[in-house]
Amino acid sequence: MCTKQFSLPDLLAVCPLIGSTNPHYAQAAAESSAWVQSYNILAPRKLAFLLQGSSELLVSHAYPYAPYEQFRTCCDFVNLLFVVDEVSDDQNGKDARRTGEVFLNVMRYPDWDDGSALAKMTREFKQRLLAFAGPNSYRRFLMHCDDYVNAVAREAEYRERGEVLSVAAFQTLRRENSAIRLCFGLFEFCLGIDLPDAVFQDEHFMTLYWAAADMVCWSNDVYSYNMEQAKGHTGNNIITVLMQEKAIGLQAASDFVGVHFADLMSRFVEVKKQLPSFGAGLDDAVAKYVEAMQHWVIGNLEWSFESQRYFGAENERVKETLVVTLNPAEEN
């Protein structure tokens, strides 16, 4: 295969999980899309990219069990994350940190406001979140918000310097700047549960947690690589990291992701069987949380081909053939 093409790993083939979608998708998606557009915070080109990417469809796959109000809030949050991500993608480290801190300050402080559209969007999301979030989950959510903003700023600094991290260092960064921990942080909000910190300190539970998070991050990176290389944003992608650290080509890096994803899935399936009891009052809630992680993993895979976010109008063909033709570099 020529270097202008590469084959994706067949991740769906090694994923035994069963996907689903949320029955509230159509109504909530329309409302959330109108909500984010009403702020006029994105340039027309970026807004078109947001709409093409069908963020709300990802939420439908990732939170198929969420009641209407919680589902609509998740749609708003993923759209809000897209805004933060797209704005910071074109910024240096200092400006990306400033953008992130608008989001973070509104989440932290009841009366903080700089008058920006981003602050107002964040405040409206926060109000929806507080209507259902328990104290433990909300406290953890704020902690992950802080980690996310710091990671996005570090990503911008690395991009500014043209620095590509090692695999180990990148994986640590990716777990935070991907916002997957924030997305997982909405599980309890959607399920009406509020787990104690002891659950998140259990070795078996956290093995499941990190395996699921990494499956989402690694699959996202291999699927988004073509889009990102066309934008010149390759540094924040495991494919580039693998190519540099292991001195391998694009196809070998893609294949590596496939092998690693299969290993992560095997680990998840096996460790799930070893999950200890947390007591009669908690076991059902923990089981629901684990099931929610599974929905995110399979939902992300299915959405990546169902939407046009990564493969444009070629999404159906790419799903069938797994062959991606590299796009030319975009003009700024």
* Number of residues that make up the chain: 332
Q: Is the Cα dihedral 144, 149, 155, 157 positive or negative? A: negative
Percent of the chain with pLDDT over 70: 98
Query: What is the mean predicted confidence (pLDDT) over 298-304?
Result: 97
Give the residue with greater pLDDT, 204 vs 49: 204
69's tokens: 């109000």
Query: What is the mean predicted confidence (pLDDT) over 67-82?
Result: 94
The per-residue pLDDT for range 5-64, each reduced to its tens digit, is 999 999 999 999 999 999 999 999 999 999 988 998 888 887 787 777 788 999 999 999
Of 78-82, 94-98, 208-212, 277-281, where does the model show the most confidence?
208-212
Least confident of 27-31, 86-90, 159-163, 229-233: 86-90
| Confidence check: pLDDT of 66 > 70 | yes
DSSP, residue by residue, 152-182: HHHHHHHHHHT----HHHHHHHHHHHT-HHH
Q: Is 165 exposed, middle or buried (0-12, 13-18, 19+ CB in 10 A)?
A: buried
| Confidence check: pLDDT of 3 > 70 | no
How far is residue 184's CA from residue 286's CA, in Å, rounded to a whole number? Answer: 13
How many CB atoms sit inside 10 A of residue 157's CB? 15
How far is residue 143's CA from residue 147's CA, in Å, rounded to a whole number? Answer: 6
The per-residue pLDDT for range 147-203, each reduced to its tens digit, is 998 998 898 889 889 999 999 999 999 999 999 999 999 999 999 999 999 999 999
| Predicted local distance difference test score (pLDDT) of residue 133 | 96
How far is residue 134's CA from residue 192's CA, in Å, rounded to a whole number? Answer: 8
Give the residue with greater pLDDT, 233 vs 182: 182
| Confidence check: pLDDT of 310 > 60 | yes
Least confident of 49-63, 78-92, 298-312, 315-329: 78-92
How many CB atoms sit inside 10 A of residue 324's CB? 23
Helix (H, G, I), strand (E, B) or coil at 324: strand
| Predicted local distance difference test score (pLDDT) of residue 44 | 83
DSSP, residue by residue, 71-132: HHHHHHHHHHHHHHHHHHHTS-HHHHHHHHHHHHHHHH-TT---S-HHHHHHHHHHHHHHTT
The answer to whether the CB of 106 falls within 8 A of the CB of 122 is yes
Q: What is the mean pLDDT of the chain?
A: 93
Give the residue with greater pLDDT, 83 vs 128: 128
pTM here is 0.94
| Confidence check: pLDDT of 332 > 60 | no
Q: Which residues pair with 7 in a beta bridge?
A: 323
Give the residue with greater pLDDT, 88 vs 210: 210
| Predicted local distance difference test score (pLDDT) of residue 242 | 98
| Confidence check: pLDDT of 1 > 70 | no
**Backbone phi, psi, residue 5, to 5°:** -135, 155
